[in-house]
Amino acid sequence: MKNGKKKNAISRREFLKQASAVVGGGALISLVASSCEPATTSNAKPPSNNTGVNTTKEPGNNYVEYPPYIDVPLMEVPGSACDYFVATDRKYSPYHTWVFPLEDSIAQIGISDYFHKDCQLHICEIYAKVGLTLDAYLEDTFANIITDKISTDIVTPISGTVTEINPYVKDFLLDETFGRGWMIKVRLSNPDELSKLYTPEYYAYLISPNWSGTVPPMYSE
């Protein structure tokens, strides 16, 4: 799939042209003029905390079965006015997506806490279908997002075949970004690509406005 972009969305290159900074030789989307509210003692909370939504919920007269809550290890990004968090058990791309490897060469893909908070995410549409082949080198896309700042497509951070779409993504994307808010699952066609994704510590360093200390390793051993 070389071109799955929506007609009303700008290209990834145009996205970078409008709102990017070059960090360490790679393009890192950095929406500097953030419109999120600074975190305070009362409103700061990790994105993967239990939001109080039970496994079942009743919209109208219909009960919906939700998957169990996922406990995710988190680190807070130093100096972030909007209280950004990074999950420490996965890898990250320069375009603020994460990859969480599962068993049998399957991996989950989602967007970062920084991405949705900084952009003020409103709408997320996953237009990829099960069986679709995605190529990271060709910058294939699988979803479209609309925010306060921009409308753009989400580029896949790894190559593979889509095996599952999260039917609950709209319920949990904002409050449980790293847990039940995952977007798609992919069967990896080139597992070596995982070694080229950022470590969580390095990703936190890139998005931190006030990092102190040494620069973390970009890639894991």
Contact 88, 74 (CB under 8 A): yes
CA-CA distance, 84 to 111, in Å (whole number)?
Answer: 13
Please report which confidence band the pLDDT of residue 202 belongs to, taking 50, 70 and 90 as the band edges. Answer: very high
- Residue 98 inside a domain? The answer is yes
Q: Are 156 and 1 in contact (CB under 8 A)?
A: no
CATH code where residue 166 lies: 2.40.50.100
Is residue 92 in some structural domain?
A: yes
Length, in residues, of the chain: 221
**Domain that includes residue 23, residue range:** 12-32+67-207
pTM of the model: 0.77
User: Three-state SS across the chain?
Assistant: CCCCCCCCCECHHHHHHHHEEEECCEEEECCCCCCCCCCCCCCCCCCCCCCCCCCEECCCCCCEECCCCCCCCEEECCCCCCCCEEECCCEECCCCEEEEECCCCEEEEEECHHHHHHHCEEEEEECCCCCCEECCCCCCEEEEEEECCCEEEEECCCCEEEEEECCCHHHHCCCCCCCCCCCEEEEECCHHHHHHCECHHHHHHHHCCCCCCCCCCCCCC
Q: pLDDT for 109-156, tens place per residue?
A: 999 999 888 777 778 899 999 999 999 999 999 999 887 777 889 999
Give the tens place of pLDDT for each residue, 168-198: 998 998 889 999 999 999 999 999 999 999 9
Measured distance CA(155)–CA(11) in Å, rounded: 10
Residue 40 lies in a domain: no
Burial group, residue 63, by CB count within 10 angstroms (0-12, 13-18, 19+):
exposed
What is residue 162's predicted lDDT score, i.e. its pLDDT?
98
Question: In this predicted structure, what is the pLDDT of residue 29?
Answer: 40
For residue 219, being part of any structural domain is answered with no
User: What pLDDT shows up at residue 122?
Assistant: 72
Whether 43 is covered by a domain: the verdict is no
pLDDT per position as a tens digit, 18-44 = 433 333 333 344 433 344 554 333 233
Using pLDDT thresholds of 50, 70 and 90, give the confidence band for residue 212: confident
Residue 45 lies in a domain: no
Q: How many domains does the chain have?
A: 1
